Chain A
Amino acid sequence: MATDERTIRGKVAIAGLAETTYYKRGQATDPEFKMALQAIIAAAGDAGIDVTEIDGFASYSNDRNDPVRLATALGLPQLKLSNMFWGGGGGGGSGAVANAAAAIVAGYADTVVVYRSLAQGQFGRFGQGSGANVARGAGAFTSPYGLMSPAQSFAMRVRRFMHDHGTEQAALRAISLASYQHAQHNPRAVMHGRELTEEIYDNSRWIVEPFHLFDCCMENDGAAAVILTSAERARDLKQTPAYVLAAMQGSDYRQGATAHNAPDYATSNFKTVAPRLYEHAGITPGDVDVLQSYENFTGGVLMSIVEHGFCEPDEANELFTLEHLSAPDGKLPLNTSGGNLAECYMHGLELIIEAARQVRGESTSQVHDANISMVGSGPMVQPVSDLVLARDLG
């Protein structure tokens, strides 16, 4: 364990959380900025603090609702932190929590909200890929070949991993089945009431092999927020604190090569991030009670879980079964709210909220006595990030 002063271990907690109604893409009845305000106000209420106590904001993926606008709309007496995680799309979710936590430990701000709001009807689809009719710069190395969407960009990585390690489609399917099964217990989930079976999965259309329709995240509208504050203060607030044991971000050697030329190609990009996370958290994979792992595509979830040390690459077919991935009794309960596949594509912030709910004992697919609750944000993108929450500081 990294025991010196240069960690955030146990110094900060998630004290409040909330989300708006989650909608199918384009169906939000409120504008994006108003949904951001709704989530933030509700998260403050959940924490039992006055909204005006918020003094910092952290987000990711170029969220359009910037802190100055939010602070002005909410009438905050002063803004002490305006922070954006740079790059990585959904890979910045846990990174935004890391930035908020670091700012609290450093004394920059006291009550920081991490938030994300998406109204894709208002602003256009997020994951559509480039339909633009022009290739510029490094785009000349990919788009003329018809490589234009996130699914198309990631399929070749996953396929090479499957080639290298004999991974079967059934392993990817298990991730999707677990998410949908958990969503059936979660009334917030957009796919609540929409059961997924092996047969429905197998018969669903290919987006691009090895991704069936159900291997790909949804696209949704909504907003979500979590409130972070010092661990000391969180203990005096309304909710059970979800202590931050560690949060980490990063990217491996040359993973940003647009033309797919990172030497380690078949990777989710967590190989250097995960060891640093575990060191700072003072835990090993065997300590993790429940895991939320960002699903842009199931293949990335599988590679990410392997790179976090939950199994060897060649053992994935054994670990990735519905039984092992299901709450409450599975070996590795995964994406217990339904996640990006079946709860809501809140760009992974719903995974962080679910991780905190597990610590509080409030999940709709509660893992018995969950203490160590982990989140992986954004496989295969650059950079990625991770978060470990805990109920007990131990």
Chain B
Amino acid sequence: MAEYLGLTVDIPANDPDHIEYLQGAGEGRLVLQRCSDCNLLRYPPGPACPYCQSLEREWEEVSGRGTIYSYEIVTQAINPAYRELVPYAVVLVELDEQRGVPDEHEALRVISSLVDGDGAPEAEENVAIGARVEAEFADLGDGLGLPRFRLSDETPEHELWQFPS
């Protein structure tokens, strides 16, 4: 059974929308669904295209590059397995692909963890809205992986913003 930080990841074989995303990550690829009819990417993966209602889709690898759209620092773990991890950053990453399509508010925004070069939670002082990030992958076993992000050395496109505490 696939596992991450003591958390069992139990995705049945007849749930392709979820398991194939994690299988892509198991191969070190960030994959999204592209609608076979209207040709738009979507996230989260799911059985229907929210833009044209088609049920036909293909998986496609994307760059894994993006910008932090929002974030939070979790200091109180809910699951006991995560107690050793706090404080940790949860980020909402806006991917570079398909920003502002099909309208100005749309973007592919992915929930993830922000980790450092060793896969440990990135330090709070380095987490900011606007920071550039790139995908990396944690191994879950059973051929599955979990996409995570780390800071990249790219120049941010706008001024960084941190919660003023």
The interface of chain A, by Cβ under 8 A from chain B, is 128-138, 140-149, 152, 155-157, 159-160, 162-163, 169, 206-210, 254, 257-261, 263-266
Contact = CB atoms under 8 A, between A and B. Distances in A.
Nearest to A152: B74
A258 B44 contact: yes
12 contacts: A131-B79, A133-B81, A134-B7, A135-B7, A143-B7, A144-B7, A146-B77, A146-B85, A206-B165, A209-B73, A263-B103, A265-B70
Given A155-B72, A156-B92, A159-B163, A140 B109 contact: no
Given A209-B163, A261-B109, A133 B43 contact: no
Interface residues of B, number: 50
Given A156-B71, A159-B71, A160-B70, A134 B11 contact: no
B8 A145 contact: no
Contacts of B82: 146, 148
Contacts of A128: 78
Contacts of B113: 145-146
Interface of B: 4-11, 15, 18, 21-22, 43-44, 50, 69-82, 85, 88, 90, 92, 103, 105-113, 129, 146, 148, 161, 163-165
A133 B8 contact: yes
A43 to B, nearest CB: 36
Contact of B129 (A136, A142, A144, A163): A163
A67 to B, nearest CB: 34
Contact of B10 (A134, A155, A257): A134
Main SS class of interface, B: mixed
B10 A159 contact: no
Given A146-B77, A160-B129, A263-B103, 16 more contacts: A135-B8, A141-B18, A144-B9, A145-B112, A145-B113, A145-B148, A146-B90, A156-B72, A156-B90, A169-B164, A208-B72, A209-B72, A259-B110, A261-B43, A261-B44, A266-B70
A137 B72 CA distance: 23
B111 A260 contact: yes
A311 to B, nearest CB: 21
Nearest to A143: B7
Contacts of B164: 169
A178 B133 CA distance: 40
Contacts of A264: 105
A169 B163 CA distance: 10
Contacts of B5: 144
Contacts of A263: 103, 105-107
Contacts of B146: 144
Nearest to A129: B78
B18 A140 contact: yes
B130 to A, nearest CB: 9
A257 B44 contact: yes
